[in-house]
Amino acid sequence: MTADDPARTLTRHLRELAVRRARLRRHRAEVTGNPAQLRYLDAVISRLGDEIDHRRDHLAIVASTGSYQPWSHCHFRVGDFARIGGAWYPVLHAGWRALTVPPLDLLGERRHHPNPEHGVDTGSVAYVRVYGRRRAGRVLHTPPPPEGATCTCRVTIPTFNAEFVPERDAGLCTEPAVARLTIRHDGTTCGCHGICLLTDTDAADAASRAPWVEVVLLCDAHTYEHTAGNGATETAAITFEDLT
Ligand SMILES: [Zn+2]
Ligand SMILES: [Zn+2]
């Protein structure tokens, strides 16, 4: 574990965001009789909520695949769309530090360049503010796994005496990943019927764990298995992303 361990950085960042949101919520409860200010606070709180969800997804990626690369210039090119503040913007330029997009429409207010002499009407957005990429109709909410990432499923082999042990574990699949599943486990909408929220301890008074996010990388065969088993690839709790 080093100082720039991504999981640790993300956890710290998440905690800061949660503290900021709690402070704003307290502040909101005290504001009375100013609808414009309330609307503004609600918008900021909801954006913080989006950011918290997004960082949680990143943390789940670190936990499941062992690595995580934030969005950067190598993930974007002209013609892509980037998700910023809840809307999609065409990418005009992918710089080292930021994306150039048309003027942002944040909180219902168009942000023009402060200097009217400035000819080009564009906005510059740091990569940490980018929450997705759309390229040729394919949406990625978080950056793709690094080159050469493999399937994170386990291979199971049917046994001959299915009566006793229907299948045996043959270890991790080593096929290249072609899709990614993000599952938001809340016990109900994820389809686990509460099993995913059980703690490991068998104690009767064991509290169930908090909702969590699981990220799974799928190879061709495991994508087929998922699609065949579920009918629909996506549900309210499951995001399916094509990585090809
Ligand atoms: Zn679940
Ligand atoms: Zn596989």
222: CA distance to ligand 2 center in Å?
Answer: 5
For residue 231, being part of any structural domain is answered with yes
One domain for residues 57 and 81:
no
Those residues with Cβ within 8 angstroms of residue 33's Cβ, 6 or more apart along the chain or in another chain: none
Ligand nearest to the CA of 183: 1
Ligand 2 centre distance from Cα of residue 156 (Å): 10
Which one of 107, 137, 167 terminates a domain?
137
Considering every ligand atom, which ligand is closest to the CA of 173?
A: 2
Q: Could you tell me if residue 149 is inside a domain?
A: no
Quick one: which ligand is closest to 237's CA?
1
Which ligand is in closest contact with the Cα of 216? 2
Residue 123's contacts (CB-CB under 8 Å, 6 or more residues apart) are: 89, 100, 101, 102, 103, 104, 111
> Is 234 found in the same domain as 159?
yes
- The whole-model pTM stands at 0.73
* Distance from C-alpha of 209 to C-alpha of 200, rounded to nearest angstrom: 10
Residue 193 lies in a domain: yes
Domain-embedded: residue 61: yes
Measure 219 CA to ligand 1 centroid, in angstroms: 21
Read off the DSSP letter of residue 92: S
Evaluate whether residue 144 is within a structural domain: no
CA of 56 to the centre of ligand 2 (A): 24
Parent domain of 92: 73-137
How many domains are contained in the chain?
Answer: 3
Specify whether 190 is located in the same domain as 116: no
* Residue where a domain stops, chosen among 83, 112, 137: 137
Looking at the structure, tell me whether residues 236 and 183 fall in a common domain.
Answer: yes
Same domain for 231 and 208: yes
Ligand that lies nearest to the alpha carbon of residue 222, given by its number in the listed order: 2
Ligand 1 centroid–CA 121 distance in Å is: 46
CB–CB of 99/124 below 8 Å? yes
Residue 165 CB partners (closer than 8 Å, separation 6+): 159
Contact call for residues 72 and 94 (beta carbons, < 8 A): no
Q: How many CA atoms are closer than 13 Å to the CA of 29, on its beta-carbon side?
A: 5
Instruction: Answer yes or no: do 163 and 233 share one domain.
Output: yes
Q: Of 30, 46, 65, which residue is a domain's last?
A: 65
Give the C-alpha distances (Å, rounded to integers) separating 224 from 134, 206, 228, 230, 239. 23, 36, 6, 10, 16
Residues 216 and 181 reside in one and the same domain: yes
Domain membership of residue 12 (yes or no) is yes
Per-residue pLDDT of the chain (244 residues; tens, 9 = 90+): 444 677 888 888 889 999 999 999 999 999 887 888 898 899 889 888 888 888 888 888 888 777 778 899 999 999 999 998 778 899 999 999 999 988 766 544 454 445 544 444 578 889 988 989 999 888 998 888 888 889 988 887 766 665 666 667 778 898 999 999 999 898 888 888 888 888 766 555 556 678 888 899 999 999 988 877 666 667 788 889 999 8
Please check whether residue 146 lies inside any domain of the structure: no
The answer as to whether 109 is a domain residue is yes
224 & 165 share domain: yes
